[in-house]
Amino acid sequence: MPKEANFSNIYKVYDLVNTVLSLGFDTSWRNRASKYIIGNNVLDLGSGTGAAYKQLANFDVTALDPDAKMLQLNKFSKKIIANAENIPLDDNSIDTVYCAFVWRNVNDTQKALSEIKRVLRPNGVFILLDMTRPKKKILRIIHKLGTLIATTFIGLLTFNIRDYRFLHTSLDKYEQPEVNLKHHPFNSIEIHRMGLFGFVYLTIFKK
């Protein structure tokens, strides 16, 4: 997690901000992503406060997140304080890795992809859901303006502009997923664009 992303200051309303930035569709997109889950053993990578609890409640879930305060609010019984680049789990021990709306906060995505592949069992699946910017330039400008206004407004209301502003700038941290995820260690990958202007992407990696 980048130093700028001090979610310990905003952990109680972090999920609310993701809901605002996703125009309220984050739950429906989580539901769609969960349909790709295989097996019973699931690693909720970047689980945070457990926003995916409803989608993952019927599975054997390990919640992993680097922020202890966010995990305190997490309902999953098995919790690990760690990051995506160093997953403290055995090789070939997980059926599905599920990661929703946190990938843009990962420092080294290539190292994280290698770690995720390591812990996945043969034929395992990595489900990655996150926000980015639209492909077309004019739509990117509109989207940037919208997220800037939204995060600034919430930051002013909570007297914490700096941490909320990071959620806006994090959308520009990496290139488009079609480029950023091009080099990966998995056997196959498929990327689906969703949402208004296509600013949300769902990626399915298969080991």
Q: Token pair of 139, please?
A: 């739509």
Phi/psi for 202 (5° steps) reads: -120, 120
Is residue 127 helix, strand or coil? strand
State the CATH number of the domain containing residue 192: 3.40.50.150
The CA distance from 51 to 2, in Å, is 21
Query: For 31-73, what is each residue's pLDDT tens digit?
Result: 999 999 999 999 999 998 898 999 999 999 999 999 888 898 8
Classify the phi-psi angles of 151: left when phi > 0, otherwise alpha if psi is within -120 to 50, otherwise beta. Answer: alpha
* Apex 25 CA angle, 110 and 30, nearest 5: 50
- The torsion angle over the Cα atoms of residues 164, 74, 106 and 206, rounded to 10 degrees, is -140
CA proximity to 131, closest of 47, 53, 201, 32: 201
Phi/psi for 63 (5° steps) reads: -95, 120
Strands, DSSP E only, in 60-144? 60-65, 78-81, 94-100, 120-131
The CA distance from 127 to 31, in Å, is 12
166 assigned to some structural domain:
no
4 assigned to some structural domain:
no
48 assigned to some structural domain:
yes
129 assigned to some structural domain:
yes
65 assigned to some structural domain:
yes
Assess whether pLDDT exceeds 50 at residue 1. no
Structural domain boundaries enclosing 116: 24-133+174-206
34 assigned to some structural domain:
yes
Assess whether pLDDT exceeds 50 at residue 3. no
| Chain CA centroid to CA 206, Å | 18
The CA distance from 128 to 144, in Å, is 22
The CA distance from 28 to 116, in Å, is 25
Query: For 70-84, what is each residue's pLDDT tens digit?
Result: 898 899 999 999 999
162 assigned to some structural domain:
no
Q: What pTM was computed for the model? A: 0.84
Domain count, the chain: 1
149 assigned to some structural domain:
no
Is residue 203 helix, strand or coil? strand
Query: For 154-202, what is each residue's pLDDT tens digit?
Result: 777 666 666 666 666 777 788 899 998 988 999 999 999 988 788 899 9
Instruction: Return the higher-pLDDT residue of 119 and 1.
Output: 119
